[in-house]
Amino acid sequence: MHIGTTLTNYIIETQRNFKGATGEFTGLLNDIAVACKKISDLVNKGDLVDILGSADSENVQGETQKKMDVISNEIFMEALQHNGHVAGLASEEVDDICRMPKDAPRGHYLVLFDPLDGSSNIDVNVSVGTIFSILKASPHPGDPTTEDFLRPGTEQVAAGYCLYGPSTMMVLTTGQGVNMFTLDRHFGEFLLTHENITIPEDTKEFAINASNMRFWEAPVKRYIDECLQGKEGPRGKDFNMRWVASMVAEVHRILTRGGIFMYPMDEKIKAKGQGGKLRLMYEANPMSFIIEQAGGASTTGRERIMDMKPEHIHQRVPVVLGSKNEVDLVTAYHRS
């Protein structure tokens, strides 16, 4: 592929590598791209179209929804439900899996998505994004069940995210590396701008919410303490810290220049009876697929995220991902 190739042409060329491809996958990714363009346009307009602020409602996790959480979810549902490319949908914003309308044709894919990751940042004009994961639907007749969605990340056929920042960027993997596409607003298309992204194995940058330091487990405290000691400490180099509170923005930075992102297990999370902070199906699995395809690593601190068998569609897990050598070190500290 050459720089400037449209997302549509890229998908068509990619499908030619798969025997028996019907074009359905191309259609699905185009549906996702259309939804992301609509969300990008609204995020770009902000207060001009009254989409900022809270929606006076809560999602299934009990979190206050922003207006754009609700709007983005509706946009994704509308874009994917009626074109015959999906058999079922699951959204971070909805309690249960989403059934297709009775009159809608059924496709051969399942899509799970976080319609607006980092939405708490939208009111202060900081980058937010959409995350999606695609699975093959089970061959049995009828509508998919919740169990059909509960498959490990290794079974994803594609994953990606769309970053709404100074420019709108789509990052996509179909299991053959990671490519970035930038939205040309005048042309109305996502164009290939970075291909075969590779994350450096080493880094001098970490991202973690330091306000939770007093709740961290010993392995995380040890790792961060060693980073903060800089050149004089056991790591022998100075580290910088970053924290955006938007997983899409954090992962995008890591893909661009390396780094490690951590939302680990801590005592506060344990006290709430949760398995972690981030959602396995909507955030951790798709981001892990992208990171691993770019040469990085992604674990809970104790096990590879994509090997986990989900227990329910809103399951939460700890996440440690990014430059391989740093993730391996944090994981080794947990195992020891």
Domain with residue 141: its CATH number is: 3.30.540.10
Query: Could you tell me if 106 and 252 lie in one domain?
Result: no
Residue pair 308/152 in contact (Cβ under 8 Å)? The answer is: yes
Q: Which residues of the chain have pLDDT under 70?
A: 1, 17-21, 51, 53, 55-64
Last residue of a domain, one of 196, 229, 259: 196
Query: Could you tell me if 182 and 252 lie in one domain?
Result: no
User: Which pTM value belongs to this model?
Assistant: 0.94
Q: Is residue 2 a part of any domain in this protein?
A: no
Query: Could you tell me if 152 and 170 lie in one domain?
Result: yes
Query: Could you tell me if 27 and 149 lie in one domain?
Result: yes
| Residue 225: per-residue pLDDT | 98
Residue 120 known to bind ligand: yes
Last residue of a domain, one of 196, 229, 264: 196
**Residues making up the chain, counted from first to last:** 336
| Residue 12: per-residue pLDDT | 86
Residue 118 known to bind ligand: yes
pLDDT digits (tens, 9 = 90+) for 170-228: 999 999 999 999 999 998 999 999 999 999 999 999 999 999 999 999 999 999 999 99
Residue 73 known to bind ligand: no
Residue 114 known to bind ligand: yes
Query: Could you tell me if 75 and 123 lie in one domain?
Result: yes
Copy the structure tokens of residue 238.
Answer: 């100075």
Range of the domain at 103: 7-196
Instruction: Round to whole Å and give the CA distance between 273 and 45.
Output: 39
**What's the count of helices (H) and strands (E) in the chain, helices before strands?**
9, 16
SS3 content of the chain, % helix, strand, coil (to 5): 40, 25, 35
Q: Is residue 177 a part of any domain in this protein?
A: yes
Residue 117 known to bind ligand: yes
Query: Could you tell me if 149 and 267 lie in one domain?
Result: no
Query: Could you tell me if 118 and 231 lie in one domain?
Result: no
Query: Could you tell me if 273 and 176 lie in one domain?
Result: no
Q: Identify the CATH number of the domain in which residue 327 sits.
A: 3.40.190.80
Query: Could you tell me if 56 and 16 lie in one domain?
Result: yes
Last residue of a domain, one of 196, 225, 242: 196
Q: Is residue 1 a part of any domain in this protein?
A: no
Residue 92 known to bind ligand: yes
Q: Is residue 292 a part of any domain in this protein?
A: yes
Q: Is residue 252 a part of any domain in this protein?
A: yes
Copy the structure tokens of residue 135.
Answer: 């699975």
Query: Could you tell me if 47 and 116 lie in one domain?
Result: yes
Residue 119 known to bind ligand: yes
Domain total of the chain: 2
Residue pair 183/171 in contact (Cβ under 8 Å)? The answer is: no
Query: Could you tell me if 169 and 221 lie in one domain?
Result: no
Query: Could you tell me if 253 and 166 lie in one domain?
Result: no
